[in-house]
Amino acid sequence: MTVDPLQVQLHDDVLVQEIQLLTDLIVAATEASRPLDAHALDAVLGLPARRADRVPVVPTQLTA
């Protein structure tokens, strides 16, 4: 019996966690009746509530 060295099981804990987060976001977006705002996304991701005195970062600010 020959063993194929390319037939290995890969397990990446970080990738598994990222896939789970993405899956949670897809499910939440599918079930939502409107686009999810930042607060709803944070809740899906299990992040703490944002403080009202913080200025949110918009995507255009990230590329500058």
Question: What pLDDT digit, counting tens, does each position of 23-57 carry?
Answer: 999 999 999 999 989 888 888 888 887 776 566 66
Q: How far apart are CA 41 and CA 24, in angstroms?
A: 10
Domain parsing of the chain, residue ranges: 14-45
Element (H, E) at 62: helix 59-63
Specify the 3-state DSSP secondary structure of 50. Answer: coil
Query: What pLDDT is attached to residue 6?
Result: 78
Alpha helices, DSSP H, located in the chain = 13-31, 38-45, 59-63
Query: What pLDDT is attached to residue 62?
Result: 54
Q: What's the pTM value of the predicted model, to 2 decimals?
A: 0.57
